[in-house]
Amino acid sequence: MGVPSASPLFLREPEIRRGVELLYFGYSHMTGAIDKTLEKQGLGRAHHRALYFIARQPDMPVSELLRLLNITKQSLGRVLTDLADRNFVESRQGQRDRRQRLLRLTPTGSALETELFEALREKMGAAYAEAGQESVTGFWRVLEGLVPVHLRDRIASLNSGS
């Protein structure tokens, strides 16, 4: 199926609606690739997001994960308890601040996160290959434009490994 070119009037309602719909359906089908694996573990997408970001930054403070996921402390507490009870995540005290809890994946958690990421990589990689490099760059620009400016540094820090 060929992708139609954006209209020169790309800020009109039909073009905006098409973008919103493609985001919804694209995300739904991409994450659908991991839903069965999560379900087998008794986990959901919130658990996956926590696993993903903890894998990206081992020894991430709970407070940083809370900011990244933008969920309540109570919701994150439930997710982390589930992950710890299933031996996917472990926490330890911070060296400088003993009140700080630092999170990292266990070997079991790392194996699960890798399995989930591989399924996502397959879907995303196929879409990237079909679209081509220039389109991928444009796609990233659009998605970055959806992220509030004050949060973009967090995304950049994930990509720099810091």
pLDDT digits (tens, 9 = 90+) for 92-104: 987 777 778 999 9
Place of tokens 């089908």: 29
pLDDT computed for residue 31 by the predictor:
93
Q: In b/e form, how buried is each residue of 118-148, taking b as 16+ CB within 10 angstroms?
A: ebeeebeeeeeeeeeeeeeeeeeeeeeeeee
| CATH code for the structural domain at 15-157 | 1.10.10.10
Secondary structure letter of residue 94 according to DSSP: -
- Count, residues in the chain: 162
Q: Are 113 and 122 in contact (CB under 8 A)?
A: no
Secondary structure letter of residue 139 according to DSSP: H
**Which residues in the chain show pLDDT less than 70?**
1-4, 7, 9, 160-162
The amino acid occupying position 113 is E
